[in-house]
Structure 1
């Protein structure tokens, strides 16, 4: 599916055969994390490093990219990106407060191993906090039993678990090296790439806030490498604030790892400028594409799963209609 402003492909991204070498200005992508999230087939492994080698070829010298990852396997992804030829520039942290702890009460397992029957001490409604108003299938008619350990060792380990609550996702900031022999300025003159779009991603001053610094900028502070879901005051630094997506925020979109469009706005603006082309080899349901169309960037995306590709088409079409209406 192609237009003047976007190209989206329902196929594997490996090879990027439709794209010319040194033709893409930036990359923003949310690839599989390799952690079998919710047992989805597409998240069994990290992407093969070939896609990063392909990306290096099609990106212009000096181009920046942002790649989402998981805490557990970020180090392996960073090595693959480096081996492909990218420079690791930073790691941004999308920080949020409503992550799901992936753990259980080990004391109840101890009871089971010792042959002790854990004691039922009540009931509770299991409501997943990241779903708006809770999940429909987790209310009173499906109350869960609450247990406590009864063995001596189980009581000692009551409440012990296997992991702490996740509260951030890393986003790796990468760059294709400048053309050999070129300074940053010369690379920008030749390719239009080599610098981050700091000016248009500044954090505005709060209402009534006194400007800070020896040379305060009228648009606000330079964006930090921390992106938060809720503001907090530490008397100096401020952060870009964006909430996680509530499930089924869009009726037709059930992608399990949907990223907020507002977050993608910020990231797309950081690594690209108006009228440039942004690549997403793992576009999922198309949040990067929607952000690009909103921000006057051309978007090129790949998605192998036909269902997610169709969702992306709907979202792209809807944003296209919005864009056209704004011209009149």
Structure 2
């Protein structure tokens, strides 16, 4: 659980790094939306920066990059132009987006200029392999996704974790409502459901968007409710074999993680809990608020640690090195400490780097203390046993 932080332009920091030295890149780069008037958000990463990302990655290494819905196309094209292959896009869906609309009045009252944001796309890209996936994994440890580590627990399910390893206990105690938990029966695989390219925040608004379905399409060997089946969704009765979903709603098959809480963002930082703006502040009030004077983490786009931990696990071998060229307030770095990875982070703003360092060190100390406590308990048990 070591980390290295660089202050300054990430392209310069990466140029000083050896090639093929990083296992994965998990990052939340600028979206090019000029969010809240921040100059660092005027453009998506340039191709030459992404070329350096490609160079430092091991063959088969994955890049996961968040983007805005308006500029996702530009992000993906530049990633591809740098030499990556686009493998997929993960959608992070949430119900708490703030509509940034200019609402009209007069005869055009009720018309506006934007939709309510409820999705952030995450480009999944990979550095070209050296041979086959199987051969690349054997040589470099990269190229494949860690499916079993990221299988998903159904919504609302709780289970006894008392006999699990400390890492799983940390998941349970971290405040996450659902994580890539293991083990336990989940439909057809005892390890859990296969991870999907959709993540949601577990909010009532998002859950209401999924139909309540106690089974999947159904048992194709069964009979239709009132006619011979044509294999149409909902036409067959619920499956009764090992492939039945057995959960209370279709959203249960997806990993879910709420947006970053104030406590998550402020871990390791002094904070009196006072927000910078009121709960229902307008967009203009948010833009004009004096965020740097706020106690704790004043970065405007903090990602939840649980989400970043899930993404890091998906694309990184055990103990691997994760790079975040656009570190911000350090959510990726904090997640790597929790998961036992090594971390390299780059940040242009010294204030944000200081925040990131405090959050990373806080998580590192917490994990170290837990491991030391577990080791001490094992030592005591060994003495009693002897």
- TM-score of the superposed pair, with normalisation by structure 2: 0.68
Q: How many residues get paired? A: 273
CA contact 1:204–1:219 (8 Å) conserved in 2: no
Residue 19, structure 1, aligned to residue 17, structure 2: yes
Larger relative helix fraction: 2
Aligned match of 1:295: 339
Aligned match of 1:202: 151
1:45 to 29, 43, 47: 43
Post-superposition offset of 1:210 = 8.0
Aligned match of 2:189: 217
CA contact 1:276–1:297 (8 Å) conserved in 2: yes
Give distance in 1, aligned partners of 2:361 and 2:319: 19
Aligned match of 1:6: 3
Residue 176, structure 1, aligned to residue 130, structure 2: no
Post-superposition offset of 1:188 = 0.7
Q: Secondary structure at the match of 1:326?
A: helix
Aligned match of 1:313: 357
More RCO (CA 8 Å, sep 6+): 1
Cα deviation digits, residues 198-246 of structure 1 (max 9, x gap) = 110000245399853xxx1112111111100116364345111111124
Post-superposition offset of 1:51 = 1.1
Post-superposition offset of 1:247 = 5.0
Cα deviation digits, residues 35-92 of structure 1 (max 9, x gap) = 0001111111122211110011110111111000001111111111111000111111
Q: Secondary structure at the match of 1:66?
A: strand
Give distance in 1, aligned partners of 2:333 and 2:186: 35
Post-superposition offset of 1:323 = 1.8
RMSD after superposition:
1.8
Aligned match of 2:254: 239
| Gap runs ≥5 in structure 1 | 108-148
Q: Secondary structure at the match of 2:15?
A: coil
CA contact 1:247–1:254 (8 Å) conserved in 2: no
- TM-score of the superposed pair, with normalisation by structure 1: 0.79
CA contact 1:205–1:219 (8 Å) conserved in 2: no
Give distance in 1, aligned partners of 2:152 and 2:39: 38
Cα deviation digits, residues 168-211 of structure 1 (max 9, x gap) = 100000000101xx111111111111100111000024539985
Residue 304, structure 1, aligned to residue 348, structure 2: yes
Larger relative strand fraction: 1
CA contact 2:185–2:191 (8 Å) conserved in 1: no
